[in-house]
C-alpha cells in the first residue's frame, strides 16, 4: 500500500475505536441526550469512513459504509428504536467493515458485499423503518415489546397506540400471573381497574419460559402513571408494571404532521444535532508520525543520561551548599519520568478496545452454533501498544472460534455431564512487569490428548511407542495443518489458524502455551513483551546491589527482631509461610548474620487464588520508585531478572516476581534434599 495513506489508515482505526465505544454506550440505559449524541456520532463515523474509502479507491467498502450510515440515519430520526437485536446487528456491521479494512490494508481484493452476513437483518430494519408510500403513520415500533407481541396488535390497537403517543401520553404495561381456574374473572376485574386509571388499549397473552404455573397476561394502558394498589392485584399474581412507550421519543416532525409516513426533510433542529458540538467531551486530535515520537524519546533518554552523570558528579563533591542543586536534580528526574510516561501513553490503547472487537463475534457464533456462552472479561483497563492491537485481533478471533467450535460442548452434552447448559469463556489480561499476559479459559471438553497423539503418529509428527508428555501433545496442536477433525468446520476450519496464532505471537516476541483437563476445560495463554513499560517498584538491597520488586506482587513488607535465614518458615498475620533469601534465589552468597527484612510475594492469576505466598528475605528496604522499564536483550536469559532502569546511583535491576518465586521453591527443595 502507498505509505502516503498511512495517516488515513490510522484515522480509520481511530474511527472504529470510537464506533465500538459509542455502541457500548447504547447497550445500557442512558439519558436521552446521551443516546442521541452516540447515534449522531455513529452516523458521522460511517459517513467519514464512506468518504475515506472513496478516497482510497474502494467503492464496495464505500457502499457498505453508506448502508450502515443509512441505518444510523434512521435511528437518529427516531424511526428505529434501540434494542438488543438492533445493537447486535450494528456491531456485526461495524466489525465486518473493520475486518474488511484490515484485509484491504494487506492487499486483499474487495469482496462483493462486506455486509453479506447481516444482509437479511439490514433488510428487515429498512423495511420496518420505511413503509411503502402512503402508509398510515404507525408508532407501535416505539413500544418496548418483542416482535411477536407487536405483530399480535390489531389495526385498531395500532391506531390507538399511535394516537395516544402523538397526544403525549405514555403507555404503561401491566404484567400479571393468573390462576387457570379463575383467570376469566380476575382478568376482567384487573382490566376494569386499569381502565379506570387510563385507556386500556390491549390485553395480550404472554409466554413465560420459567417454572411458574398459571396464565400470564400483559395489559397496555395509556396513562402518565399507574396506582398499583388501585388495581386490586393479589400478592400471588406477581404484578409487574413497566413503561412501554414514552411520547418524548416521537420525532417532533411526526407530532406536527401525523399523516402518512414519509421521510421528513432535515430541519434546523436536526442540522444542529449533526454539529460536532452535540458530542460530549469532544477533543482535538493531533496526528504525529511515529518516527517523530521515537526521535523525541531518544532525545529524552540522552537528556536523562546527562542528568544522571551530573547527579553523580555532584554527589562526588562533599559540599553542604550543593543540597539545593541536588534537590533540583531530583525534580528534573521526576519531570523527565512524567514526560517519558506521557510519550509512552501516546502509543498505548486500552485492552478493552480488543475486548470490544471480540464480544459481538462471540454472541454471533453462540447464536449460530446453538451454544449459549457466558462471556466475561477482566483487565480491560490495562494498556498495550497500538501496534500490537492490530496484530493481536486476528489471533484472538481464531482462538475464540476454536474455543466455541472445538472446546464448548452443546447444551445437551453439557447437561449429560452434569454441567450448566451455558458454557463459560473467560478472557483476562494482566501485566507481569514488561510482559502482557492474556488468558483464554473455557469450561468445555478440553483437548483430547489420546486423539492428538494418535493423529500425530498418523501424520508422522510423533514416533509410535515413545512416551509423549501432555505439554508435547498440547504443543502439537499448534503445528501447521494439524487437526483431529476429519472434516472441516465452517466456524474454525480444520484446525487452520492455531499455527497462524503461534506464528503471529512468536513474531511479536511472545509465547503461547496450552493446557487442559478432560471435561473441565482448557487454557490458552499468550505472553507478549512490551517494548517499554512504566512500573512501580519496591527498592530492596542485597549486599551492594539494589533490586526493584514490582509492587503489584508485593503483599506485605515487614522487619524482624530476630535474624532471618533462608530455608525456614515465618508466621505472617497468622499464616505460616516459607522463607527464602533473595541471595539464594539469585545464586549470590547469603549473609552469615541473617537478614532483618522480608517481603511477602504473591503470584497472580490462578496461583494467587490458591494462596501461594512466599516470604523473601532482603538486607534492606530502600523505599518505592516509579521507573520506565525497557527491554534488555543481554538479560534475556538471566534468571529472575526482567529488565533494568538507569538510576542516579547505577542500574536498578527489576526482578521478575514469578520467576523469583520459582527459583525460591527450587532453592527450598534443594535445601530439603541436602538434609
Query: Of the ranges 171-185, 331-345, 483-497, 628-642, which one carries the lowest mean pLDDT score?
Result: 483-497
Q: What is the pLDDT of residues 51-85, one digit of tens each?
A: 888 767 788 898 899 989 888 888 776 667 778 78
Grid look-up 529472575 returns: 640
Task: With cut-offs at 50, 70 and 90, classify the pLDDT of residue 209.
Answer: low
Higher pLDDT, 670 or 337: 670
> Which DSSP state fits 478?
T
Q: What is the pLDDT of residues 516-549, one digit of tens each?
A: 888 889 999 998 887 666 778 899 988 888 898 8
DSSP E strand stretches across 143-293: 171-178, 199-206, 215-222, 240-245
Cα pseudo-dihedral 478, 484, 488, 492, rounded to 10 = -40
Q: What is the pLDDT of residues 91-107, one digit of tens each?
A: 889 988 988 888 888 88
Q: Give the per-residue pLDDT at 413.
A: 92
Among 503, 663, 474, which residue's Cα sits nearest to residue 583? 663
In Å, what is the CA distance from 267 to each residue of 55, 72, 75, 171, 479?
Answer: 29, 17, 16, 28, 61
Share of the chain above pLDDT 70, in %: 82
With a cut of 90, say whether residue 426 has pLDDT above it.
Answer: yes
With a cut of 70, say whether residue 196 has pLDDT above it.
Answer: yes
Overall average pLDDT of the 318-323 stretch: 78
Threshold 0.85, pTM exceeds: no
CATH number of the domain at 140-256, out of 3.30.70, 3.20.20, 3.40.190, 1.20.120?
3.30.70
Q: Give the per-residue pLDDT at 277.
A: 33
- Specify the CATH number of the domain 3-130: 1.20.120.160
Give the angle subtended at the CA of 319 by the CAs of 313 and 324, to the nearest 5°: 80
Query: Of the ranges 18-27, 119-128, 492-501, which one carries the lowest mean pLDDT score?
Result: 492-501
Taking the C-alpha atoms of residue 511 and residue 513, their distance in angstroms, rounded to an integer, is: 7
In Å, what is the CA distance from 509 to each residue of 243, 393, 531?
Answer: 54, 16, 10
Task: With cut-offs at 50, 70 and 90, classify the pLDDT of residue 604.
Answer: low
Higher pLDDT, 654 or 135: 654
Q: What is the pLDDT of residues 472-522, one digit of tens each?
A: 888 888 876 666 555 444 444 434 457 778 888 888 888 898 998 888 899
Q: Give the per-residue pLDDT at 156.
A: 65
Q: What is the pLDDT of residues 369-386, one digit of tens each?
A: 889 999 999 888 888 877
Chain mean position to CA 25: 14
Q: Identify the top-confidence range among 135-149, 223-237, 645-659.
A: 223-237
Contact 71, 121 (CB under 8 A): no
Overall average pLDDT of the 202-228 stretch: 85
Question: How is residue 197 written as a grid cell?
Answer: 386509571
Q: Identify the top-confidence range among 28-32, 124-128, 218-222, 386-390.
A: 218-222
Contact 125, 89 (CB under 8 A): yes
Taking the C-alpha atoms of residue 283 and residue 271, their distance in angstroms, rounded to an integer, is: 21
Taking the C-alpha atoms of residue 633 and residue 643, their distance in angstroms, rounded to an integer, is: 9
Task: With cut-offs at 50, 70 and 90, classify the pLDDT of residue 428.
Answer: very high
In Å, what is the CA distance from 518 to each residue of 412, 418, 449?
Answer: 17, 14, 9
Exposure string over 93-128, b if 16+ CB within 10 A, otherwise e: bbbbbbbbbbebbeeeebeeebbeebeebbeebeeb
Overall average pLDDT of the 216-229 stretch: 90
* Residue 288 CB neighbour total at 10 angstroms: 10
With a cut of 60, say whether residue 270 has pLDDT above it.
Answer: no
In the chain, where the domains are located: 3-130, 140-256, 291-347, 351-529, 532-674
Higher pLDDT, 206 or 289: 206
Contact 516, 475 (CB under 8 A): no
With a cut of 70, say whether residue 258 has pLDDT above it.
Answer: no
Among 278, 268, 336, 288, which residue's Cα sits nearest to residue 308? 336
Query: Of the ranges 355-359, 462-466, 483-487, which one carries the lowest mean pLDDT score?
Result: 483-487
With a cut of 70, say whether residue 282 has pLDDT above it.
Answer: no
- Hey, is 173 helix, strand or coil? strand
In Å, what is the CA distance from 30 to each residue of 81, 550, 597?
Answer: 13, 39, 52
In Å, what is the CA distance from 510 to each residue of 526, 528, 530?
Answer: 7, 4, 9
Task: With cut-offs at 50, 70 and 90, classify the pLDDT of residue 255.
Answer: low
* Mean per-residue pLDDT of the chain: 79
Beta pairing class for 613-618 and 595-602: antiparallel
CATH level 2 (architecture), domain 351-529:
2-Layer Sandwich (3.30)
Taking the C-alpha atoms of residue 510 and residue 504, their distance in angstroms, rounded to an integer, is: 9
Q: What interhelical angle do 59-76 and 32-56 show, nearest 10? A: 160
Q: What is the CATH T-level fold of the domain 532-674, as seen in this structure?
A: SH3 type barrels. (2.30.30)
Amino acid at each position: 500500500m502507498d505509505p502516503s495513506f498511512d495517516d488515513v489508515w490510522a484515522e480509520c482505526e481511530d474511527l472504529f475505536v470510537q464506533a465500538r465505544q459509542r455502541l457500548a454506550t447504547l447497550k445500557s440505559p442512558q439519558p436521552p441526550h446521551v443516546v442521541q449524541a452516540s447515534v449522531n456520532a455513529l452516523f458521522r463515523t460511517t459517513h467519514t469512513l464512506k468518504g475515506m474509502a472513496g478516497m482510497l479507491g474502494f467503492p464496495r467498502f464505500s457502499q457498505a459504509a453508506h448502508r450502515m450510515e443509512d441505518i444510523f440515519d434512521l435511528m437518529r430520526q427516531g424511526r428505529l428504536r434501540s434494542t438488543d437485536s438492533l445493537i447486535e446487528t450494528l456491531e456485526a456491521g461495524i466489525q465486518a467493515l473493520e475486518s474488511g479494512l484490515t484485509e484491504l490494508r494487506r492487499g486483499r481484493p474487495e469482496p462483493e458485499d462486506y455486509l453479506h452476513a447481516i444482509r437479511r437483518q439490514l433488510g428487515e430494519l429498512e423495511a420496518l423503518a420505511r413503509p411503502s408510500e402512503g402508509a398510515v403513520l404507525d408508532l407501535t415500533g416505539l413500544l418496548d415489546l418483542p416482535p411477536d407481541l407487536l405483530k399480535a396488535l390489531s389495526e385498531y390497537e395500532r391506531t390507538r397506540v399511535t394516537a395516544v403517543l402523538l397526544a403525549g401520553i405514555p403507555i404503561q404495561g401491566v404484567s400479571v400471573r393468573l390462576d387457570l381456574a379463575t383467570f376469566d374473572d380476575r382478568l376482567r376485574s384487573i382490566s376494569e381497574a386499569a381502565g379506570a386509571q387510563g385507556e386500556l388499549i390491549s390485553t395480550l397473552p404472554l409466554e413465560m419460559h420459567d417454572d411458574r404455573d398459571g396464565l400470564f397476561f400483559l395489559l397496555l394502558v395509556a396513562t402518565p402513571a399507574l396506582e398499583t394498589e388501585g388495581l386490586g392485584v393479589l400478592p400471588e399474581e406477581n404484578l409487574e408494571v413497566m413503561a412501554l412507550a414514552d411520547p418524548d421519543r416521537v420525532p417532533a416532525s411526526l407530532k406536527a404532521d401525523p399523516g402518512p409516513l414519509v421521510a421528513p426533510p432535515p430541519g434546523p433542529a436536526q442540522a444542529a444535532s449533526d454539529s460536532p458540538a452535540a458530542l460530549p467531551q469532544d477533543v482535538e486530535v493531533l496526528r504525529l508520525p511515529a518516527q517523530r515520537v521515537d526521535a523525541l524519546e531518544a532525545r529524552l533518554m540522552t537528556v536523562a543520561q546527562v542528568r544522571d552523570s551530573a547527579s553523580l558528579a555532584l554527589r562526588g563533591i562533599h559540599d553542604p551548599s550543593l543540597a539545593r542543586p541536588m534537590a533540583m536534580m531530583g525534580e528534573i528526574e521526576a519531570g523527565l519520568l512524567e514526560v517519558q510516561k506521557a510519550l509512552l501513553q501516546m502509543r498505548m490503547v486500552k485492552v478493552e478496545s480488543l475486548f470490544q472487537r471480540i464480544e459481538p463475534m462471540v454472541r454471533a457464533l453462540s447464536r449460530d452454533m446453538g451454544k449459549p456462552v457466558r462471556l466475561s472479561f477482566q483487565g480491560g483497563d490495562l494498556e498495550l501498544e497500538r501496534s500490537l492491537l492490530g496484530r493481536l485481533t486476528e489471533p484472538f478471533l481464531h482462538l475464540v472460534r476454536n474455543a466455541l467450535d472445538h472446546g464448548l460442548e452443546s447444551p445437551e452434552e453439557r447437561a449429560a455431564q452434569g454441567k450448566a447448559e451455558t458454557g463459560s469463556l473467560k478472557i483476562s489480561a494482566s501485566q507481569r512487569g514488561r510482559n502482557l499476559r492474556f488468558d483464554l479459559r473455557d469450561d468445555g471438553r478440553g483437548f483430547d490428548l489420546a486423539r492428538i497423539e494418535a493423529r500425530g503418529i498418523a501424520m508422522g509428527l510423533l514416533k509410535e511407542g515413545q512416551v509423549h508428555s501432555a505439554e508435547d501433545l498440547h504443543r502439537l496442536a499448534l503445528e501447521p495443518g494439524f487437526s483431529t477433525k476429519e472434516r472441516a468446520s465452517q466456524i474454525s476450519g480444520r484446525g487452520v489458524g492455531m499455527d497462524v496464532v503461534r506464528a503471529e505471537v512468536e513474531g511479536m516476541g511472545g509465547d503461547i502455551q496450552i493446557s487442559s483437563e478432560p471435561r473441565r476445560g482448557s487454557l490458552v495463554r499468550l505472553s507478549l513483551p512490551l517494548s517499554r513499560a512504566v512500573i512501580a517498584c519496591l527498592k530492596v538491597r542485597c549486599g551492594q546491589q539494589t533490586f526493584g520488586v514490582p509492587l503489584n506482587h508485593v503483599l506485605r513488607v515487614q522487619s524482624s527482631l530476630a535474624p532471618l535465614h533462608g530455608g525456614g518458615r515465618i508466621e505472617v498475620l497468622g499464616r505460616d509461610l516459607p522463607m527464602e533469601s533473595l541471595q539464594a534465589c539469585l545464586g549470590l552468597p547469603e549473609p552469615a548474620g541473617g537478614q532483618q527484612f522480608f517481603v511477602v510475594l504473591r503470584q497472580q492469576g490462578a496461583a494467587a487464588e490458591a494462596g501461594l505466598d512466599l516470604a523473601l528475605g532482603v538486607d534492606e528496604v530502600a523505599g518505592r520508585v516509579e521507573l520506565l522499564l525497557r527491554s534488555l536483550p543481554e538479560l534475556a536469559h538471566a534468571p529472575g531478572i526482567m529488565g533494568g532502569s538507569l538510576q542516579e546511583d547505577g542500574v536498578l535491576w527489576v526482578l521478575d516476581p514469578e520467576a523469583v518465586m520459582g527459583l525460591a521453591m527450587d532453592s527450598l527443595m534443594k535445601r530439603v534434599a541436602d538434609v
